[in-house]
Amino acid sequence: MVTSAQSQVAETPNVRWEQRKRKLLPYGYLSPTLILLAALTIVPIVTVFLYSLVDNVIVNPNPPEFVGLDNYEEVLTHRKFRGALSNTIYFSLVSVVAHFFIGLSFALMLNSRLLGANVKAVFRVIYILPWVFTASIIAILWRLLLNPHGVVNFVLLELGLVEELQEFLSDRRLALNAVTFINIWSGYPFYLVSFLAGLQGIPDDLYEAGRVDGGNAWQLFLNITLPQLKPIIISLALLDFIWTIHQFTLIWMTTGGGPMRSTEVLSTYTYKAAFSSHEYSIASTIAMVILGICTFVAIFYVRSQRMVDE
Amino acid sequence: MIGSRRQILARKILLWIALILGACFAALPVLWMVSSSFKSNLKIFAYPPALIDESFSFDAYLAVLGDPGQLRFFFNSYLVAILVTICTVVTSIMAGYAFSRYDFRFKKILNLVIIGVQSVPPITLMIPYFGLIVWLGIYNSYAALVLTYMVFTLSYAIIMMTGYFNTLPRDLDEAVMIDGGGSFVTLWRILVPISLPGIVAVGVYTFMLAWNEFLFALTLTRTNDMRTVPIGIHLLMGQHSFEWNQMLALSVLGSLPVLILFLLFQRYFIAGMSAGSIKG
Amino acid sequence: MKKYVGLLLIVLLLATGVSMAQDVVLEFQQWWEPELPEGSFRAILDDFEAANPGIKVETISGPYLTTKDQIIASAATGTMADVVGLDGAWVNVLWKQGALHSLSQAMADADYDDSELAAQIQLAGETYMIPIANFIYPVFVNLDLLEAAGIDPPTTRAEFAAAAMALTDPDNNVYGWAQPLSLEQPNGIQNDTMSWLWASGGSMLDDMGQPHLAGNEALAETLEFLKGLHDAGVVAPGAFSMKENEKVEEFVNGRVAMIINTLAHFTLIRERNPDLNFDITALPAAEGYDGPRGLPYASWGIGISSNTEHKAEAWKLIDFLTSVDGNSKLTSIANAFPGNVNATPDFIQTDPLFMTAFEIFQEGFLANEFTGLPAAEELMRQFDEPFQFYLEGEMELDEFLEIAQEEWEDIFS
């Protein structure tokens, strides 16, 4: 009431003030975020960028030497980099798609009206189980499970599904799929929880209208649920893609990038460059390449956001 | 979903089958973790494996719980995770509101920046970031961990909150504005209560990340009185051998309170709580 | 009343001020404390503090696997601890980073007589690391399995191969040998691969200390021998992702009859499986070799940060830990061989298995060519990768050694 009373007696400067306030307001709301990110990320990211342009950093006694884009040329033309890149793309794409399907299916099941509230509560907790463990424990657990003398092999042998012990993590034909599977298992709850939240935001009357128009369950899903979830789906897929590219602990502690580089991804490759061969410039260069890839994908996201806004 | 009783029954059966299959996928590996945490370190590697064998004991749990150092890790993990969750939720609600309800000049760029800071692999950032934290004088403090995790969690939190606010009709807050409520009032009195499912999703995600993070928790702390559960787990991974059952027991113990918290909060995911009445 | 309180406060302040002025606090970063029985490491440091009033030691303990990364990061940001635990595989990189203080200098400053030190790790002619506890890697054999097959512990490669053959029984999940080749922890290249070469007096370096892989006859023979074991199916499955700790668990469970393994595992194996009847023996040598056997080993080494303001006090701590008394105590709780030639850990007199080990130790010589090499872990990894291709039969021996040679030269230059 106060504001409307004020606006009735508003004079020109006040209106201008209101306009300016409206312009500045979003920055005010964003200020905690921006201050934090500026304070804590600008310096490290710029440092990493500068590292990528020089030679001899951190563990080298010689003074840094500006080499321009030489590091980039070295990284991008390296045979091992290309292998790691293609493994990363496979690992990330399969993970993101599987996360999406599993997360959405579970969320839809848990949202069904055919189940009682308590049943849902129990299954919700069961379904987020993979999420409550730190990555190194997940790696260790799956190493136990997939060990040649582990329980997975035992069950498969007993059921007659395989004829001999499988070396899931040390057979180059199986290892990449095995680590991808582990990543799928450990990552889908993030989608599940986001979709559960997203599904609550879809108004019931949309479904009622759809039903009046004679749509069956599948049509309702295609025409209402999916489009309504679209902003969330795009955001999740983008972030998940970025995180999967960065997924390090899981792969490192299960296969270390092996056997025979079959699970070497950009994150393990970067780690080795930084902490094994101690070439921080090269590691920083790979980091910048990854930043480039992610930014490229993020531009699509920002565009889609704008469409949603309009 | 109007159908005959038989159709509904068939649907129910199918749904239950799918639910149980899904539960097997999610929970069997965890069941194995729990079962192994009760075994001796010898029997964890026994072949053929058994779910429960004669080595069943609570020794690993007693060893973990009898160690005051481990309890301190739990306390730290909770404190840090709760602080991060509160700060991230509040910050991201404000940022999401700005992105969702206002048009401003640098909107697209800022959006990109918020995603961009996530795109540099944390491993490469570690050394310069560590230097910055030391320079800021918050090395080996809760503040270092809380602020660091906020940097990680804010991207998702903001994107999720923006997306969530975007699904809410604008006339809702405009009505309030016309009634004389300021934007601040609109946000906290109207949008936030309706958005609880989204906020809970953000909170759960933030909590999990802060709870599970290892690399920065280790790098940014120096003494055991500041360290968190994942470091406690790693301390059981020796140079030559692991204390498998204690590591697993510690993980199981760490997960229980998290699951209980989730059980309390998951009621906000109940269908139709926010939709319908308010939006209609 | 107020007066007294005020006076008391002043006295208290003075007291703390004085004690703060007196006490030097040394930070000691290492991974040993969590490896040792609870409180036992602290007890040794308490002894040191008692003997050196005015010096306090504060331990900064972390998991072994991340200790190196953490020390490098702290050295880069100027927060490195005063005294650090070192591994032979990473001393070189820290030295290169300028993070380590020359111990030769510290010894000279303290007028220290180094004749009691069993070894010093030198780079560019100066000592930067002193090994204070050594863990040798003999062959552990499962006596029950050997007796059932009616064979004695092997002493030559041919005997080893024959024994591994006889012991392998895939239907019962028993294999003759295990070779961990995980790329995450590639120390299997050091302990379970190159050790064969060193045991027969071979070397992976030339006289100038440069890589000598391609065209190295002794190495080629060793690798062909190992491939023979893999081809014969006597190596436990999962080798390409197996880690040291899993190798031990396989042995403890009786699924692998023979492993090359650290003495640090004695207590562990006995705790895990008290029924396991095992013995140790020296690493088999190539046919016709009768020189002393090289023994692979790992050390807990110690060094001083180049940034510390308390170099003299830091040296006192090292002096204590390498002294007869301090070193005996530390190696007794760690089940390690001492870094002081006159120190005698108590287990050597009391435990028959350790007595055997000590004999092996005295008859052979410590051989770990990776100690002090640049990026030693990366060398192992760069060897491991093509080695896996070779074992899988996808690469010829010559090609594999050429590739490894090239990678190594790259790292050395």
B-chain CB neighbours of C296 within 8 Å are: none
- Contacts B–C by Cβ distance under 8 A: 76
Residue C172 C-alpha, separation from nearest chain B C-alpha, in angstroms: 10
Chain C: residue whose CA lies nearest to B48: C173
Mutation target among A58, A59, A119, A132 for the B interface, most CBs of B within 10 A: A132
Dist. CA C253–CA C269, nearest whole Å: 10
Q: Which residues of C309-331 are buried (b: 16+ CB within 10 A; e: fewer)?
A: ebbebbbbbbbbbbbeebbbbbb
Tabulate helix, strand, coil % of chain B (nearest 5).
75, 0, 25
Mutation target among C187, C249, C278 for the B interface, most CBs of B within 10 A: C249
β pairing state of C126-136 and C121-123: antiparallel
Dist. CA C390–CA C403, nearest whole Å: 11
Furthest CA-CA distance within chain A: 87
**Two tokens at A253?**
């502690």
Furthest CA-CA distance within chain C: 91
The mean-pLDDT minimum among A1-5, A20-24, C181-185 falls in A1-5
Question: Is there a contact between A291 and B44 if contact means CB atoms under 8 Å apart?
Answer: no
Backbone φ, ψ for residue C404 (5° rounding): -60, -40
**What is the pLDDT confidence band of residue A309, given thresholds at 50, 70 and 90?**
low
How far, in Å, are A54, A80, A271, A297, C107 from residue A251 at the CA level? Answer: 29, 17, 12, 23, 44
The mean-pLDDT minimum among A238-247, B140-149, C121-130, C388-397 falls in A238-247
Whether C252 has its CB under 8 Å from any CB of chain B: the answer is yes
Dist. CA A209–CA A214, nearest whole Å: 9
Q: Tell me the ipTM for this assembly.
A: 0.88
β pairing state of C83-86 and C294-295: unpaired
Comparing CB atoms, the residue among B42, B219, B239 nearest residue C73 is B219
C-chain CB neighbours of A175 within 8 Å are: 241
Domain holding A35, by residue range, is 1-51
Asked whether the beta carbons of C138 and C101 are under 8 A apart, the reply is no
Q: How much is the average pLDDT of B71-77?
A: 91
Q: How far apart are the first and last CA of chain A?
A: 31
Asked whether the beta carbons of C103 and C120 are under 8 A apart, the reply is yes
Asked whether the beta carbons of B218 and C62 are under 8 A apart, the reply is yes
Asked whether the beta carbons of A210 and A224 are under 8 A apart, the reply is yes
Listed residue (B102, C106, C346) closest to A27, CA to CA:
B102
Q: Give the pLDDT score at A58.
A: 76
pLDDT above 80 for B97: yes
Question: Is there a contact between B271 and A45 if contact means CB atoms under 8 Å apart?
Answer: no
Chain A: residue whose CA lies nearest to B25: A185
Domain holding B65, by residue range, is 59-269
Q: Report yes or no on A136 lying in a domain.
A: yes
pLDDT above 60 for C11: no
Dist. CA B248–CA B236, nearest whole Å: 10
Question: Is there a contact between B197 and A142 if contact means CB atoms under 8 Å apart?
Answer: no
The superfamily (CATH) of domain C2-136+297-365 is Periplasmic binding protein-like II (3.40.190.10)
A9 and A117 part of one domain: no
Q: Give the pLDDT score at B113.
A: 86
Comparing CB atoms, the residue among B218, B223, B241 nearest residue C268 is B241
DSSP C234: -
C-chain CB neighbours of A58 within 8 Å are: 72, 76, 97
Question: Is there a contact between A260 and C375 if contact means CB atoms under 8 Å apart?
Answer: no
Helix (H) or strand (E) holding C176: strand C175-177
Q: Which residues of B27-54 are buried (b: 16+ CB within 10 A; e: fewer)?
A: bebbebbebbbbbbbbbbbbbebeeeee
Write the DSSP string, chain A: -HHHHHHHT--HHHHHHHHHHHHHHHHHHHHHHHHHHHHHHHHHHHHHHHHTTEES-SS-SSPPEE-TTHHHHHHHT-HHHHHHHHHHHHHHHHHHHHHHHHHHHHHHHHT-TTS-HHHHHHHHHHHTGGGGS-HHHHHHHHHHHHSTTSHHHHHHHHTTS-SS---TTT-TTTHHHHHHHHHHHHHHHHHHHHHHHHHHTS-HHHHHHHHHTT--HHHHIIIIIHHHHHHHHHHHHHHHHHHHHH--HHHHHHTTT-STTTT--HHHHHHIIIIIS--HHHHHHHHHHHHHHHHHHHHHHHHHHHHHH-
- On the 0-12 / 13-18 / 19+ scale of CB atoms within 10 A, B63 is middle
Q: Which residue type sits at A147? A: N
Q: How much is the mean pLDDT over chain B?
A: 86
Q: Report yes or no on A56 lying in a domain.
A: no
Q: How much is the mean pLDDT over chain A?
A: 87
Q: Give the pLDDT score at A1.
A: 38
A32 and A174 part of one domain: no
Q: How much is the average pLDDT of C217-229?
A: 97
pLDDT above 60 for A310: no
Mutation target among A115, A129, A244, A270 for the B interface, most CBs of B within 10 A: A129
**Two tokens at A256?**
């270390």
Chain C: residue whose CA lies nearest to B124: C73
**What is the pLDDT confidence band of residue B277, given thresholds at 50, 70 and 90?**
very low
Whether A201 has its CB under 8 Å from any CB of chain B: the answer is yes
Residues β-bridged to residue C142? C278
The answer for A 19-58 residues in CB contact with B (under 8 A) is: 22-23, 25-27, 29-30, 32-34, 36-37, 40-41, 43-45, 47-48, 58
Number of domains in chain B: 1
Question: Is there a contact between A149 and C97 if contact means CB atoms under 8 Å apart?
Answer: no
A12 and A112 part of one domain: no
Dist. CA C408–CA B235, nearest whole Å: 33
pLDDT (tens digit per residue) in A235-266: 888 889 998 998 999 999 999 998 989 999 99
Chain A: residue whose CA lies nearest to B256: A132
The mean-pLDDT minimum among A108-117, A134-143, C80-89, C156-165 falls in A108-117
pLDDT (tens digit per residue) in B190-199: 888 888 888 9
**What is the pLDDT confidence band of residue C8, given thresholds at 50, 70 and 90?**
low
pLDDT above 60 for A181: yes
Dist. CA C65–CA A3, nearest whole Å: 62
**What is the pLDDT confidence band of residue C400, given thresholds at 50, 70 and 90?**
very high
Question: Is there a contact between A167 and C240 if contact means CB atoms under 8 Å apart?
Answer: yes
β pairing state of C297-305 and C121-123: unpaired
Asked whether the beta carbons of A135 and B234 are under 8 A apart, the reply is no
pLDDT (tens digit per residue) in C298-330: 999 999 999 999 999 999 999 999 999 999 999
pLDDT above 80 for C49: yes
- Write out the residues of chain B at the interface with chain C, using a CB-CB cutoff of 8 A: 40-42, 44-47, 126-127, 130-131, 134, 139, 218-219, 222-224, 231, 234-242
Q: Give domain C139-295+374-412's CATH number out of 3.40.190.10, 3.30.43.10, 3.40.30.10, 3.40.50.1820.
A: 3.40.190.10
The Cβ of residue B109 has, within 10 Å, a number of other Cβ atoms equal to 11
**Two tokens at B26?**
């999610």
A33 and A175 part of one domain: no
Question: Is there a contact between C63 and B235 if contact means CB atoms under 8 Å apart?
Answer: yes
Q: Report yes or no on B275 lying in a domain.
A: no
Whether A130 has its CB under 8 Å from any CB of chain B: the answer is yes
Residue A94 C-alpha, separation from nearest chain B C-alpha, in angstroms: 17
Q: Report yes or no on B93 lying in a domain.
A: yes
A140 and A217 part of one domain: yes
Q: How much is the mean pLDDT over chain C?
A: 90
**What is the pLDDT confidence band of residue B73, given thresholds at 50, 70 and 90?**
very high
pLDDT above 50 for A100: yes
C-chain CB neighbours of A256 within 8 Å are: 182-186, 241
Comparing CB atoms, the residue among B44, B150, B268 nearest residue A144 is B44
Against chain B, the chains showing at least 3 CB pairs within 8 Å are: A, C
Residue B257 C-alpha, separation from nearest chain C C-alpha, in angstroms: 25
pLDDT above 50 for B272: no
The mean-pLDDT minimum among A66-70, B275-279, C21-25, C334-338 falls in B275-279
Place of tokens 């007659």: A160
Comparing CB atoms, the residue among C239, C250, C389 nearest residue A170 is C239
Q: How much is the average pLDDT of C183-193?
A: 94
Residue A167 C-alpha, separation from nearest chain B C-alpha, in angstroms: 15
Dist. CA A290–CA A296, nearest whole Å: 10
Domain boundaries, chain C: 2-136+297-365, 139-295+374-412
pLDDT above 50 for B257: yes
* Percent of chain B residues topping a pLDDT of 90: 43
Q: How much is the average pLDDT of C24-46?
A: 92
B-chain CB neighbours of A217 within 8 Å are: 1
pLDDT above 60 for C364: yes
pLDDT above 50 for C124: yes
Listed residue (C78, C62, C85) closest to A58, CA to CA:
C78
Number of domains in chain A: 2
Question: Is there a contact between A284 and B205 if contact means CB atoms under 8 Å apart?
Answer: no
B14 Cβ contact list (under 8 Å, min separation 6): none
Q: How much is the average pLDDT of A99-115?
A: 92
**Two tokens at B151?**
């940097």
pLDDT above 60 for B43: yes
DSSP C238: T
Q: Give the pLDDT score at A305.
A: 66
pLDDT (tens digit per residue) in A34-86: 999 999 999 999 999 999 999 877 777 777 888 888 899 989 998 889 999 99
How far, in Å, are A15, A22, A89, B97, C390 from residue B176 at the CA level? Answer: 20, 16, 47, 15, 73
Q: Give the pLDDT score at B86.
A: 96
Q: Give the pLDDT score at A10.
A: 47
Q: Which residues of A141-168 are buried (b: 16+ CB within 10 A; e: fewer)?
A: bbbbbbbbbbbbbbeeeeeeeeeebbbb
Asked whether the beta carbons of C103 and C94 are under 8 A apart, the reply is no
β pairing state of C55-61 and C24-30: parallel
Whether A196 has its CB under 8 Å from any CB of chain B: the answer is yes
- On the 0-12 / 13-18 / 19+ scale of CB atoms within 10 A, B101 is buried
Whether A216 has its CB under 8 Å from any CB of chain B: the answer is no
Chain A: residue whose CA lies nearest to C395: A260
Whether A109 has its CB under 8 Å from any CB of chain B: the answer is yes
Dist. CA A247–CA B121, nearest whole Å: 9
pLDDT (tens digit per residue) in B212-256: 999 899 989 988 889 999 998 888 888 878 889 999 999 999 899
Listed residue (B249, B251, B214, B212) closest to B81, CA to CA:
B212
Q: Give the pLDDT score at C17.
A: 47
Q: Report yes or no on B278 lying in a domain.
A: no
The answer for C 266-305 residues in CB contact with B (under 8 A) is: 268, 272-273
Dist. CA C308–CA C313, nearest whole Å: 10
Q: How much is the average pLDDT of C398-407?
A: 96
Comparing CB atoms, the residue among C96, C389, C392 nearest residue A59 is C96
Residue B152 C-alpha, separation from nearest chain C C-alpha, in angstroms: 20
Whether A307 has its CB under 8 Å from any CB of chain B: the answer is no
Place of tokens 């024994």: C163
**What is the pLDDT confidence band of residue A306, given thresholds at 50, 70 and 90?**
low
Against chain A, the chains showing at least 3 CB pairs within 8 Å are: B, C
Question: Is there a contact between A275 and C246 if contact means CB atoms under 8 Å apart?
Answer: no
pLDDT above 70 for A166: yes
pTM above 0.80, yes or no: yes
**Two tokens at B235?**
């301390």
Q: Report yes or no on B65 lying in a domain.
A: yes
Q: Report yes or no on A145 lying in a domain.
A: yes
Q: Give the pLDDT score at A307.
A: 57
Dist. CA C218–CA C198, nearest whole Å: 10
Q: Give the pLDDT score at A12.
A: 65
CATH of the domain at B96: 1.10.3720.10
C312 Cβ contact list (under 8 Å, min separation 6): C106, C109, C110
Of the CA atoms within 13 Å of residue A193, those in its CB half-sphere come to: 32
Of the CA atoms within 13 Å of residue C284, those in its CB half-sphere come to: 22
Residue B230 C-alpha, separation from nearest chain A C-alpha, in angstroms: 6
